[in-house]
A and B are shown apart, each in its own frame.
Chain A
Amino acid sequence: MREIVIISGKGGTGKTSLTAAFAALAKNSVLCDADVDAADLHLLMQPEIRQQTDFMGGGVAVINPDLCAGCGTCMEMCRFGAINDRFVVDVIRCEGCGVCVDFCPEKAIDFPTKRCGEWYISDTRFGPMVHARLGIAEENSGKLVSLIRKEVRRLAEERGADLVITDGPPGIGCPVIASIGGATALVIVVEPTVSGIHDMERVVELAAHFRVPGMVCVNKWDLNPEMTEAIEQLAIKHHVAVLGRVSFDPAFTRSMVEGKTLFEYGEPTATQQQVRDIWAKIISSPSMNPLGIMDFKSTIQ
């Protein structure tokens, strides 16, 4: 089974719109939205939820005022400043280390496990999808990403699908690391701006750090052709395959407003062809076909 993860470093480059467009082109694939912090793919996929499961994160300290003797041990031990002078734990600051629990001489501190979010297995018009919702202000996004990636692989196996398309989170931190580990290849969506190229460099370094092959496509390339050129040069320098360019096209926003992918909106356009060509390149790329075998089950329509 192969898994491509679409990431971008910088947010707002059109990663999710492109993921949805790829989903429309792929056959026999399973979708995964690993951007659990601000998941948007479902807005285009309108998934019908088949199964919903709670995601339990770590514990959080709760001091029982009846047992607390006010000795101040917990406050001294807590390195996160989460306990105030009235011996109440600030859930937002609590790191969930449980050190106060273990050191409280009165055993006055409970450590209940928090429900941090939920994850879903759904059906969409483009096949099954695994997605999640991390609770507001929660931690453990990396853990949730690892969990849904495990589930999506299991689901793909079960359904005999040989391709997983994953919409990754922005940045380079724990949810991103959890998204790319062990993936077959990364598709990095870059916009031609000074921020875009700067963030791409960091993502490319991250990909190299975790040894996942990367490929780059420039979205809204015509907003700055020179920068697009520079991005492609940089990609080549880092041994990252260049997939192509997608034009700045308001059809992306318009189709989004209608909850559709680019291919379900309006007449066939030049932009659609660009995306089609990029998808063909992704599927036939050497990193997706390590043995040189082209699997036609998941090629373009």
Chain B
Amino acid sequence: MIISVASGKGGTGKTTISTNMALALGSEVEFLDCDVEEPNAHLFLKPVIERTEQVTTPIPLVDLEKCTYCRKCSAICRFNAITVVGRKVLIFPELCHSCGGCMAVCPEGAITETGRELGEINFGARNGIRFINGRMRIGEAMSPPLIKRVRSLADPAKVTIIDAPPGTSCPVIAAMNGADFVLMVTEPTPFGLHDLKLAVETVKLLGIPSGLVVNRSDIGDREVFAYAEREQLPVLLTIPFERRIAEVYSQGRSIVEEFPEWKERFCELFHKIETIIHERSTTA
């Protein structure tokens, strides 16, 4: 079972919710931090990292001995990542989407592949919770390939909790596509609501059941709740603004460990999600 925790707007508490739910549930879950541009979950889960893998994506490498400068590679590339100028083939690694088109089209077999570094993947554990995160290299523009790589490591026998990146474009899609449930975290402010609407549209497009956590539920206004009701989006948990929670968070400590009463609430949150997934699979 895969639960993706997403938010549209950043900073609404996505990582707080996903890490606390994982800590409340313990060893039956694994945690994948797919917010590879700004991975933060390890700051709260504090896993022991056992190993790190470098991840690359294929980009072309041209053997000029074989190249006849026919330009077929540059003609096929939709991303302007390879061009032929005079007796030179220029490759712009950061533009390449690793489609392999140039290599496939080259009549001389002059193109092979080398790698562009995307970042690294860390493997670890905490209290029996398996932990994996992706960390994108500074200067790398494309996060989806690394996110997909992290996703591919999910263990189907476990409950997988994914910390997704903010937004609604390709990185988020990479972190949500194929999940059984998307848990959306928002705050009841105009910005929170506006970005939540976008996130809801995204989830609808993917056809994944979803529910809402309203964080800092007593700031701002009531519009988020009215919207949730109209959209029949179940509000599964509300967390009022409390300075002590904000302070615990700021120090990288977890709510369930500091305030034991919250452990129960996060377990309950998970059971509500389980019920929704179950109902959906029996009606579908």
Name A residues whose Cβ lies closer than 8 Å to a Cβ of B. 9-13, 16, 37-38, 40, 43, 58-59, 77, 79-80, 92-93, 95-99, 102-103, 134, 136-139, 141-142, 169-174, 176-177, 191-196, 198-199, 202, 205-206, 209-210, 223-224, 227, 250, 253, 256-257, 259
Number of B residues, CB within 8 Å of A: 59
**Contact of B191 with A43 in the complex, beta carbons under 8 Å:** yes
**Contact of A170 with B10 in the complex, beta carbons under 8 Å:** yes
**Contact of B250 with A138 in the complex, beta carbons under 8 Å:** no
Q: What is the CA–CA distance of A174 and B43 in the complex, to the nearest angstrom?
A: 25
**Contact of B40 with A198 in the complex, beta carbons under 8 Å:** yes
- In the complex, chain B residues whose CB is within 8 Å of the CB of A102: 76, 101, 105
Chain B positions 175-231 with a Cβ under 8 Å from a chain A Cβ: 177, 189-191, 194-195, 198, 201-202, 205-206, 219-221
B70 within 8 A of A: no
The answer to whether residues A43 and B190 also contact, given A92-B177, A171-B38 and a CB cut-off of 8 A, is yes
**Contact of B190 with A257 in the complex, beta carbons under 8 Å:** yes
The answer to whether residues A13 and B140 also contact, given A136-B202, A137-B173, A137-B202 and a CB cut-off of 8 A, is no
**Contact of A171 with B165 in the complex, beta carbons under 8 Å:** yes
Q: How far is the CB of B224 from chain A (nearest CB, A)?
A: 11
Residue of A nearest to B15 (CB): A195
B249 within 8 A of A: yes
Q: How far is the CB of A28 from chain B (nearest CB, A)?
A: 27
Q: How far is the CB of A226 from chain B (nearest CB, A)?
A: 9
Residue in A79, A137, A169 whose CB lies within 8 Å of B100: A79
B141 within 8 A of A: yes
What would be 16 A-B contacts, judged by CB atoms less than 8 Å apart?
A12-B10, A16-B191, A92-B177, A98-B78, A98-B101, A103-B105, A141-B170, A170-B10, A171-B171, A173-B37, A173-B141, A174-B141, A177-B141, A194-B250, A223-B243, A256-B189
**Contact of A205 with B78 in the complex, beta carbons under 8 Å:** no
**Contact of A202 with B11 in the complex, beta carbons under 8 Å:** no
19 more A-B residue pairs beyond the given contacts A13-B11, A96-B78, with a C-beta to C-beta distance below 8 A:
A11-B166, A12-B12, A40-B190, A58-B78, A79-B99, A92-B173, A93-B177, A136-B201, A139-B170, A171-B38, A174-B141, A177-B139, A195-B38, A196-B250, A198-B40, A199-B38, A202-B138, A253-B189, A253-B220
B283 within 8 A of A: no
B53 within 8 A of A: no
Residue of B nearest to A76 (CB): B104
Q: How far is the CB of B102 from chain A (nearest CB, A)?
A: 9
The answer to whether residues A11 and B190 also contact, given A92-B206, A224-B247 and a CB cut-off of 8 A, is no
**Contact of B252 with A137 in the complex, beta carbons under 8 Å:** no
The answer to whether residues A170 and B142 also contact, given A77-B104, A224-B250 and a CB cut-off of 8 A, is no
- In the complex, chain A residues whose CB is within 8 Å of the CB of B201: 136
The answer to whether residues A10 and B76 also contact, given A136-B168, A173-B171, A224-B247 and a CB cut-off of 8 A, is no
**Contact of B167 with A223 in the complex, beta carbons under 8 Å:** no
The prevalent SS among residues of B at the interface is loop
Residue of B nearest to A226 (CB): B251
**Contact of A10 with B10 in the complex, beta carbons under 8 Å:** yes
- In the complex, chain A residues whose CB is within 8 Å of the CB of B143: 171, 173-174
Residue of A nearest to B201 (CB): A136
**Contact of A38 with B168 in the complex, beta carbons under 8 Å:** yes
**Contact of B139 with A139 in the complex, beta carbons under 8 Å:** no
- In the complex, chain B residues whose CB is within 8 Å of the CB of A227: 250-251
Q: How far is the CB of A256 from chain B (nearest CB, A)?
A: 5
**Contact of A37 with B139 in the complex, beta carbons under 8 Å:** no
**Contact of A172 with B138 in the complex, beta carbons under 8 Å:** yes
**Contact of A97 with B9 in the complex, beta carbons under 8 Å:** no
Q: What is the CA–CA distance of A174 and B94 in the complex, to the nearest angstrom?
A: 10
Q: What is the CA–CA distance of A142 and B79 in the complex, to the nearest angstrom?
A: 13
The answer to whether residues A209 and B40 also contact, given A224-B251, A250-B219 and a CB cut-off of 8 A, is no
Chain B positions 11-43 with a Cβ under 8 Å from a chain A Cβ: 11-12, 15, 37-38, 40, 43
Q: How far is the CB of A213 from chain B (nearest CB, A)?
A: 17
The answer to whether residues A202 and B78 also contact, given A95-B99, A173-B136 and a CB cut-off of 8 A, is no
